[in-house]
Structure 1
Amino acid sequence: MSQHPISAIHPPASAAGGRAMGFESAIYADVDEQAAALTGWNQSYLQLSGGGFRGAIQRVDLGPVRLFMEGLESTVYQSGQLKAGVLALGVPLRCDGSSVFCGSQSDRNALHVFSGQSGFEFRTGSDHVMMGLELDPVLSNTLYPWGHGALAGSQAGLRATDPTCLEGLRQVMLMLFETAHTAPAMFSLPALRAGMVDTLVEKVAALNLASCTNEVAHDVHWLLVQQARALLQGQLQQPPTVGELCQQLGVSRRTLQSAFQRILGISPLAYLRAIRLGAVRQALKTASSVTEAATDMGFWHFGHFAKDYQAMFGELPSQTHKRCAPPLQ
């Protein structure tokens, strides 16, 4: 029997969270907290699958190079953008076949490039483990000059690279995470940290990103979902019906349904419900009451709202509010 994504990152014997020099690990029960765990990524996560959220992140900080390993047991739609000059790469460990990265089906054997002027979008499956690394601008510029080189203006997306080189990078990253678990004191030794950085940079250089085939898709379904998301995000308090959304986009209901099912794995109506429930969950952390948060997002039948909220997040809205809202002065 295969491990769950979180168990794969956090073996049963380890604590739910931990920190050593250069190494951090944590398990999250809140999708927004996990989104914020990677600093500098400007991420937002939208939970698409019900039953509560469970995820985990491990991080190894080597100074000019930072590694992470993220596991998810919920289907999540991620979007974000890194600052210019940062080279951020993703190397999958677990993909369940339903993930879509920047419009292309995610593949364990494809390099995921998160850097890009327009940011990235990633619909993960519920059996998801991704390793990633970030190279600071000064270091990445020695490999691939961003100002005038082959990566200038590059967009986020999948890259077809040499499988042997990709596997070499994957194994080095796995060894570093194993070392972080078994011998964290090694990260306090400057000479060893410098050696780890050199090894990682060598493996990244071997990928020869400047010559990799860019698999960014200009898929009509992906572009349509992007347009629909932008419209819905701007009208959350008074969202259009699916029919009105089709009119605004100039497409048939069947076309919109097909696009959402293929890219997000859910219907437009289910997506609208998820984004509104997610907005209420964020509002509950600062709102004075559940009623205020719900009505601000257009929910008026509180029985149905509470039922849908519990199905999505595994708890009642009153429980979220009690746990997260600031205490009364």
Structure 2
Amino acid sequence: MTTMNISHFRDVHVHAATVQEWNQDYNQLTAGSAESSLMQLTTAGCHLFLEQINQRVVQNGVAPRGKMCFAVPINVPGAIRMQGREVDDSSLFFLHGGEEFMFHMPMGMELLSITFERDLFEQALEQTTASRELKLLLRQPVIRVSPQRFAQARRRLLALFSQALTHDGGDSTRARELALEQAMLDELLQLMTDPACDKHQRSPSSTRSFIVEKCHRLATTQMLNVPSVIELCQRLQVSRRTVQNSFRAVAETTPLNYLRSVRLNGVRRTLMSTRAADLSIGDAAAQWGFYHLSHFAAQYQELFAELPSQTARAAIHGDARA
């Protein structure tokens, strides 16, 4: 039976946790109150969600296992990187189930995600005349297609999603679900088999993206002893200018601001998942390498537009979510 949900949030972490089936973290990079929307629809064979966030966010996690995961950017308002690849407004994203990912989402971006059960997608794939070419194409996380053809497909996919969401559910039968799943499959397969889509395209990950991703992972794994920018340069054996230019190109910010923001997001997740009686704000901050509480509180307020003491903590019988 089809299930649907429309939600609005003022916190990117609650937003990320509400996306069904996805194991992921969202890290807010730009300062100010977060506002986001999430519309989800689930059938027996696929899960769709349309999300929009007003702040710049870096998403990282693991794609749902046993799935084939596509995403269609609805608008591209700033620099985007998916799996280290540059993205334009006619790029289709793809992840295999269980694959780790990192996605840099600019302020105000809207994204439609379509995740199929692997068996369902592979059955449809085998019925195409170009199944072998498409399997090779699906080794790429970013698939560039004809801009005109992509714009047409995007409109049709959005229309299908909108129609399914606004349906009153009175006759939400499996036949209706199958029709939606098949229409989505057909649209994506036709897009990738279009003659204008180069079946042998290769889009390598950039060195700049590799540098940002490596620094991101070091900041989240070495929380108590966070390396400085100079130490990161030494570890990666690159110049400070190279690191500065990499963060500016990929995330539109400085290395210092990016790494501090990722750590502040870590503190926020920690606070939201623990009770005040079990973990103090100071101890949560120290877990992420912040030892000067007054400086930490000021930086936290600047990024999230609220003091740490104003962040909702976990309740006795579950998380308190804003």
The 8 Å contact of residues 34 and 54 in structure 2, kept in 1 or not, is answered as yes
| 1:203 equivalent among 139, 164, 187 | 187
1:119-152 alpha-carbon deviations (Å, 9 max, x no partner):
322111102001121111111111346xx95537
1:318 and 2:309 aligned: yes
Match of 2:300 among 304, 309, 312: 309
- Equivalent-residue separation in structure 2 for 1:35 and 1:214 (angstroms): 31
Q: CA deviation at 1:193?
A: 2.4
Aligned partner letter, 1:242: V
Q: Does 1:24 align with 2:5?
A: yes
Structure 2 residue corresponding to 1:78, chosen from 53, 59, 71: 59
Secondary structure of the residue that 1:222 maps to in structure 2? helix
1:232 to 214, 219, 244: 219
More displaced stretch, 207-216 vs 284-293: 207-216
The offset of 1:259, in angstroms, is 0.9
What code does the residue aligned with 1:204 have? L
Q: What residue is the counterpart of 1:90 in the other structure?
A: 71
Identify which of 207, 210, 218 aligns with 2:205: 218
Mapping 1:1-329, distance limit 5 Å: 21-115=2-96, 118-144=99-125, 151=135, 154-155=138-139, 157-185=141-169, 188-208=172-192, 212-285=199-272, 286=274, 287-320=278-311, 323-327=312-316
* Preserved contact between residue 137 and residue 199 of structure 2 (Cα < 8 Å): no
Counterpart CA distance in 2 for 1:168 and 1:175 is 11
Distance 1:222 1:113 in 2: 18
Name the residue aligned to 2:320.
Answer: none
Q: Structure 1 residues 181 and 140 mapped into 2: Cα distance closer, same or farther (>3 Å)?
A: closer
TM-score (norm 1): 0.83
Identity %: 28
Aligned partners of 1:92 and 1:131 also within 8 Å: yes
CA distance in 2, matches of 1:208, 1:100: 21
Deviation at 1:159, TM superposition (A): 0.6
8 Å CA contact retained: 2:220, 2:263: no
- Residue type matched to 1:71 in 2? Q
Alpha carbon RMSD of aligned pairs, Å? 2.6
* Unpaired runs of at least 5, structure 2: 318-322
Alpha-carbon distance in structure 2 between the residues aligned to 1:95 and 1:305: 33
In the alignment, the residues of structure 2 paired with residue 319 and residue 190 of structure 1 have an alpha-carbon distance, to the nearest angstrom, of: 45
In 2: Cα distance, 1:163 partner to 1:155 partner: 21
Q: Aligned equivalents of 1:29 and 1:99: distance in 2?
A: 23
* Closer/same/farther in 2, CA of residues 269 and 253 from structure 1, 3 Å limit: same
Q: Is the 8 A contact 1:158 1:214 kept in 2?
A: no
Displacement after TM superposition at 1:309 (Å): 0.4
Deviation at 1:299, TM superposition (A): 1.8
1:299 and 1:262, CA in 2 relative to 1: closer, same or farther beyond 3 A?
same
Contact 1:21-1:184 at 8 Å conserved across structures: no
CA contact (8 A) 1:94 1:108 kept: yes
Q: In the TM superposition, what is the alpha-carbon distance from 1:296 to its structure 2 partner?
A: 2.4
Q: Comparing 204-213 with 254-263, which one deviates more in the overlay?
A: 204-213
Encode CA deviations 1:42-61: one digit per residue, 9 max, x unaligned: 21211111112221111122
Q: CA deviation at 1:84?
A: 5.0
* Residue identity opposite 1:326 in structure 2: A
**CA shift at 1:115, angstroms?**
2.9
> How far did 1:172 drift?
2.7
Cα distance in structure 2, aligned partners of 1:144 and 1:214: 19
Whether the aligned pair in 2 keeps the contact of 1:85 and 1:140 (CA below 8 Å) is: no
The alignment partner of 1:324 has SS state of coil
Aligned residue type for 1:197: E
